[in-house]
Structure 1
Amino acid sequence: MVGVVTSDKMNKTVVVQVTRRVRESKFGKYTVHQAKYKAHSEDNSVHVGDKVELVESRPLSKDKRWRVVKLIERARRSV
């Protein structure tokens, strides 16, 4: 799964928002589904706005079931 980091305030944990477009079966329209996942980032290298790839893993805590595999794109930082 690919998503955007929305929070990096926790230690070794980031919150990632994943957006999917799903086709509705009855009318054929596309709707946007969004979900937030807590993911493990071992070295705290990703920050808010970065696009990352997630992979499912064993339960790491009460809410964490995902790991950050790689950083796809850095967020633009304004000075």
Structure 2
Amino acid sequence: MTTKERMGVVVSNKMQKTVVVAVENRSPSRKYGKTVVTTKRYKVHDENNDCQEGDRVRIRETRPLSKTKRWTIAAIIESASGQAPPQPLTSEPEEQ
């Protein structure tokens, strides 16, 4: 089974090791064809508390970590502060 991934924006980081990520989905309405924007909020595990509000992140589905957490941070795409994001969170070997 493939792992689901989503892109979204961090809207809250007030909890310890948890952030709330809003993911937008744009689709045409069935009746009129007008583009409708729906937003879904996911509670996401952030082990090192790296994310800040406004960061653009990629999240990955994982096993249930708590009652409502089923996602984890895969990468920080763009930092809200304008600085370069921290190193990737994956543990892939570096090429030399």
Q: TM-score, normalization: structure 1?
A: 0.91
Q: Tell me whether 18-27 or 37-46 shows the greater mean CA deviation.
A: 18-27
Structure 1 residue ranges, 4+ long, deviating more than 2 angstroms after superposition: none
Unpaired runs of at least 5, structure 1: none
| Secondary structure, counterpart of 1:64 in structure 2 | coil
How far 1:20 sits from its partner (Å)? Answer: 1.2
Between the aligned partners of 2:28 and 2:73, the Cα distance in structure 1 is 27
What aligned pairs does 1:13-52 form with structure 2 within 5 A after superposition? 13-52=18-57
Number of residue pairs the alignment of both structures matches: 77
Aligned to 2:75: 70
RMSD: 1.1
Counterpart of 1:27, as a letter, is Y
Which structure carries more strand by proportion?
A: 1
Aligned to 1:56: 61
How far 1:28 sits from its partner (Å)? Answer: 1.3
1:21-45 C-alpha deviation (Å, 9 max, x unpaired)? 0111222111000011000011111
How far 1:18 sits from its partner (Å)? Answer: 0.7
Bigger relative CO (Cα 8 Å, ≥ 6 apart): 1
Aligned to 1:6: 11
Greater Rg over alpha carbons, structure: 2
| Secondary structure, counterpart of 2:72 in structure 1 | strand
Between the aligned partners of 2:28 and 2:63, the Cα distance in structure 1 is 30
How far 1:10 sits from its partner (Å)? Answer: 0.8
| Identity within the alignment, % | 48
Between the aligned partners of 1:26 and 1:76, the Cα distance in structure 2 is 41
